[in-house]
Amino acid sequence: MKSITITSTLEVFDTFEDLSKDVQALMKEAFHARDTAYAPYSQFYVGAAILLDNGEVVPGSNQENASYPSGLCAERTAIYFAGAKYPTAKIQKIAISAKSIKHPVESPIAPCGACRQAIAEYEVKQESPIEIYFMGETGKVVRSNSLKELLPLMFDNSYL
């Protein structure tokens, strides 16, 4: 038997104000998208905003359905819309923010596993890393320079 060690490096910003102005603007787009979420069951609202290399910003919000699991997360809503509307554009950055009606969300909320896999697909497709910023309503913001930092043993088309 052999053991391997896998490490990831993430950067943590103490506050939203510590982000660069362009990332603040993208995160504000995620805030706006978050406020358009349809989340009557979980009351957990997530917004995402994707910056493409053509300068377009594509928003997405979680969309729930009484017939679980027919809903879709904010990240996948945005990434699939970006892929459909701008199929040749590369994703440069994704900003994600979450809030709950039930309690304050002060910790960064990372993408779920399904969203990580969807982001991985686009990172492999475009052959370049995607910066990911995520936070709650307030508080710290985490930055990953690539999806590989969040999903180091990702499944991709090389296995097919």
Cα 68 from chain centroid?
21
Q: Could you tell me the two tokens for 148?
A: 């590989």
Q: Could you tell me the two tokens for 134?
A: 């995520």
Catalytic residue among 11, 17, 29, 75: 75
Give the residue ranges of DSSP H helices in the chain: 21-34, 74-85, 113-126
75 carries an active-site annotation: yes
**Do residues 50 and 94 make contact, with C-beta atoms less than 8 angstroms apart?**
yes
Q: Which residues are catalytic?
A: 75
